[in-house]
Amino acid sequence: MFTLFSFTALATTALAAPHLAKRDKVYGFDISHYQSSVDFESAYNDGGLRFVYIKATEGTTYEDSMFSSHYGGATDAGFIRGGYHFAHGDSSASDQADFFADNGGGWTDDGITLPGMLDLEASCSENDDWEGWIQEFSDRYHENTGRYPVLYSSPSWWSECTGDSSAFKGTSPLMMACWYVVICLVLKI
C-alpha cells in the first residue's frame, strides 16, 4: 500500500533535472519511518509524482531508521530525492545542521539530489527567536553543502512562530504543508 504523508507542488525552476519534461508544476511527497512500505514504482508511474523528501534526521541524535531504504527505493524508481531534518528549537541550530549534513542531508550536483529540507513543526515555545534559529541553521547548512535548505512548515506555524517572516526570500523556498488536500502550492517566498 502506498501512503502519502502530504502532497506538494514544486516549480520546475527549483529543479535542475534533465529527465523531467517542462511543466508548470512538479508534484511530490515526503515520507519517514511512519511510511514503512512505499511503492515508489507505482507513485512514479501511476501517480505522476516526481520528487520525494525523505526524513533523515531529527535534533542532534536521531537518524530515521528507514532513510537508507527509502532513499534507495526512490532512486531506483527514478525520483528526484533529498533528505529532510525535523528541527528542535531547544538545541543548537548549527549542531543540527552539521548532524543533518553528515547523515543524509548532503547535496550533490548530480541532477537528482534536492537540497536538504528543514521541517519546522516543533512547538513555538521551544524557541523565542525561530527566525534567528532558522537563519543559523540555514547559514551552517550552506557552509556544509553550498546550498541553502528548503524550508517546510504549515501556514499556521509559519505565521505564529516567525510572524510570517520573509527573511529567507532569495535563499530558501518555503514549502507549505497542506494535509488532506490534493494540491498545495510550494513557493511562498
Report the distance separating Cα 24 and Cα 13, nearest Å. Answer: 9
* Three-class secondary structure of residue 125 per DSSP: helix
| Boundaries of every domain in the chain | 7-176
CATH annotation of 7-176:
3.20.20.80
Reply yes or no on whether 30 is catalytic.
Answer: yes
Catalytic annotation present for 121: yes
Per-residue pLDDT of the chain (189 residues; tens, 9 = 90+): 232 333 343 433 344 445 555 666 788 899 999 999 999 999 999 999 999 999 999 999 999 999 999 999 999 999 999 999 999 999 999 999 999 999 999 999 999 999 999 999 999 999 999 999 999 999 999 999 999 999 999 999 999 999 999 999 999 999 888 766 555 545 444
Catalytic residue among 58, 64, 98, 119: 119
Nearest residue to 82 via CA among 31, 138, 144, 140: 31
pTM (predicted TM-score): 0.85
189: Cβ contacts below 8 Å, ≥ 6 apart: 166, 168, 169, 172, 173, 174
Q: Can you tell me the distance from the alpha carbon of 27 to that of 10, in angstroms, rounded to the nearest whole number?
A: 6
Q: Per the residue annotation, which of 90, 121, 143, 160 is the catalytic one?
A: 121
Say how many C-beta atoms besides its own lie within 10 A of residue 143's C-beta: 12
Counting Cβ atoms within 10 Å, is residue 174 exposed (0-12), middle (13-18) or buried (19+)? buried
